């Protein structure tokens, strides 16, 4: 009999395994892929943005926005940093509190491999056909043709994003099987796409990047945006994509710096074409396309004061209508998942079935870009690991 059987060897599952093992529990991790931590390895451009220095519940999206507070408070970024430092992993802070390995994401996976090896955690990879049954007061999990008895089962199967890495909906199926409600899922932190007609208009902008402020509804992010051959991407777009819903629009401020706006306004007497003046402040290709779209292909001084102010306002509030997203193939995470109203915020245990836990991305908690989803994985894995 194993004390804890964890389905999924990703970030949340590995943290749960480590935490439970340190409490003296016998732990078996069952992983569908050929090795653990595959998503960790590709994260952060191969350097793993493993947490963020400033983590708050406001950095997460959920139907119950308060659910994540308990776990995040009990396992903080400083707690994970302490483990990283204990293993001698060098790291650095990028913009907005994001922490990355100096070397490779492989160091984070190796850290867990060492921790689990020392604490006696067993790992079973290439477990494709897994089924779970309740048997009296314990569980039976079949994996790789063998039955494993366990006192507790932790579902850490991740979301639907990046299916080429082995993502499936197995965790959601399992949750439904045991009576759980699933908040509808959708791709999050994902590039947005344009309609065929808009792609033709914006075709010349592929590769153009610039600092922007992006708004959708009441939510705003100020980071860089990137035009692609399909639509728009970049940090600001990925962030706002988690809030965007089909049919809604986004608003792009091309001049988020007030000094830029004042300087452009001061150029109103210029005899240069408006697009050429604008190109001093934003990339030339974008200045040309934007000016053409807004009927401003004329010398700047010929624009009446009212026309000038209207153009400046539109530069700060350019409305774009995405047609969709690039889907789970390009999404960094999955929004939605197991309804948090049916889980304990302190332990991540099911309120419907004792001894069953859900952690990480399979749960309806989605973080912002910048290390927040890893911190949720560590925190939710720790919460479950301290209780199983």
Q: For residue 250, what pLDDT is reported?
A: 98
Which of the 8 DSSP states describes residue 350? B
Q: Would residue 369 count as lying in a domain?
A: yes
Q: For residue 261, what pLDDT is reported?
A: 85
Q: How far apart are CA 158 and CA 167, in angstroms?
A: 7
Find out whether 328 and 167 touch, Cβ atoms under 8 Å.
yes
Q: For residue 297, what pLDDT is reported?
A: 87
257: tokens are 């710096």
- Phi/psi region, residue 370 (left: phi>0; alpha: psi -120 to 50; beta: rest), is left
Residues 169 and 235 in one domain: no
Residues 64 and 86 in one domain: yes
Domain count of the fold of the chain? 2
SS3 label, residue 188: strand
Q: Would residue 242 count as lying in a domain?
A: yes
Neighbours of 282 (CB within 10 A): 19
Residues 249 and 370 in one domain: no
Q: Would residue 187 count as lying in a domain?
A: no
SS3 label, residue 363: strand
Residue 324 burial class via C-beta count within 10 angstroms: exposed 0-12, middle 13-18, buried 19 and up: middle
Residues 233 and 109 in one domain: no
Q: Would residue 330 count as lying in a domain?
A: no
Question: Among 136, 77, 137, 109, which Cα is nearest to 10's?
Answer: 109
Angle (nearest 5°) at CA 239 between 234 and 241: 95
Q: Would residue 291 count as lying in a domain?
A: yes
Q: For residue 258, what pLDDT is reported?
A: 86
pTM: 0.96
Q: How far apart are CA 378 and CA 16, in angstroms?
A: 8
Q: How far apart are CA 353 and CA 343, in angstroms?
A: 10
Q: For residue 25, what pLDDT is reported?
A: 98
Residues 83 and 22 in one domain: yes
Residues 122 and 250 in one domain: no
Which residue, chain included where needed, has tokens 């995405």?
Answer: 322
Q: Would residue 98 count as lying in a domain?
A: yes
Q: Would residue 206 count as lying in a domain?
A: yes
String of DSSP letters for 9-63: -SHHHHHHHHHHHHTT--EEEE-SSSSS-HHHHHGGGGT-EEEESS--GGGEE-S
State the CATH number of the domain containing residue 232. 2.40.30.10
Which of 302, 325, 348 is where one domain is finished? 325
Residues present in the chain in total: 388
Which of 293, 325, 357 is where one domain is finished? 325
Question: Among 234, 258, 247, which Cα is nearest to 322's?
Answer: 247
For residue 251, the enclosing domain spans 192-325
Which of 273, 294, 325 is where one domain is finished? 325
Residues 15 and 157 in one domain: yes
Q: Would residue 332 count as lying in a domain?
A: no
SS3 label, residue 281: coil
Residues 91 and 226 in one domain: no
Residues 198 and 174 in one domain: no
Q: For residue 148, what pLDDT is reported?
A: 96
Q: For residue 119, what pLDDT is reported?
A: 97
Which of the 8 DSSP states describes residue 248? -
Q: For residue 106, what pLDDT is reported?
A: 98
State the CATH number of the domain containing residue 173. 3.50.50.60
Find out whether 367 and 238 touch, Cβ atoms under 8 Å.
no
* pLDDT beneath 50: ranges in the chain: none
Residues 200 and 177 in one domain: no
């Amino acid at each position: 009999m194993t004390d804890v059987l964890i389905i999924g060897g990703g970030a949340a599952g590995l943290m749960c395994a480590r935490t439970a093992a340190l409490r003296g529990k016998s732990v078996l991790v069952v992983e569908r892929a050929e090795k653990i931590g595959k998503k960790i390895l590709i994260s952060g451009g191969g350097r793993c943005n493993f947490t963020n220095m400033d983590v708050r519940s406001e950095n997460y999206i959920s139907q119950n926005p308060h659910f994540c507070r308990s776990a995040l408070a009990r396992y903080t970024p400083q707690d994970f940093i302490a483990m990283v430092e204990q293993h001698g992993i060098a790291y650095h802070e990028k913009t907005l509190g994001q922490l990355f390995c100096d070397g490779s994401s492989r160091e984070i996976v190796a850290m867990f491999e060492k921790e689990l090896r020392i604490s006696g955690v067993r790992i079973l990879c290439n477990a494709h056909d897994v089924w779970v049954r309740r048997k009296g007061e314990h569980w039976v999990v079949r994996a790789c043709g063998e039955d494993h008895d366990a006192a507790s089962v932790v579902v850490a199967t991740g979301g639907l994003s990046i299916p080429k890495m082995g993502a499936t909906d197995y965790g959601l199926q399992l949750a439904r099987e045991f009576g759980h409600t699933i908040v509808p899922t959708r791709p999050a932190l994902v590039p947005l796409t344009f309609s065929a007609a808009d792609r033709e208009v914006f075709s010349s902008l592929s590769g153009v990047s610039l600092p922007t402020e992006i708004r959708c509804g009441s939510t705003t992010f100020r980071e860089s945006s990137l035009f692609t051959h399909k639509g728009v991407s970049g940090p600001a777009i990925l962030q706002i994509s988690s809030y965007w819903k089909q049919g809604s629009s986004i608003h792009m401020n091309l001049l988020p710096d007030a000094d830029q706006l004042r300087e452009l306004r001061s150029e109103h007497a210029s005899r240069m074409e408006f697009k050429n003046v604008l190109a001093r402040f934003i990339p030339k290709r974008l200045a040309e396309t934007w000016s053409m779209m807004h009927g401003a292909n004329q010398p700047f001084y010929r624009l009446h004061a009212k026309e000038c102010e209207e153009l400046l306002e539109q530069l700060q509030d350019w409305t774009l209508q995405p047609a969709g997203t690039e889907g789970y193939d390009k999404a960094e995470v999955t929004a939605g998942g197991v309804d948090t109203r049916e889980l304990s915020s302190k332990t991540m245990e099911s309120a419907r079935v004792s001894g069953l836990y859900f952690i990480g991305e399979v749960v309806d908690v989605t973080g912002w870009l910048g290390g927040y989803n890893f911190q949720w994985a560590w925190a939710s894995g720790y919460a479950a690991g301290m209780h199983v």
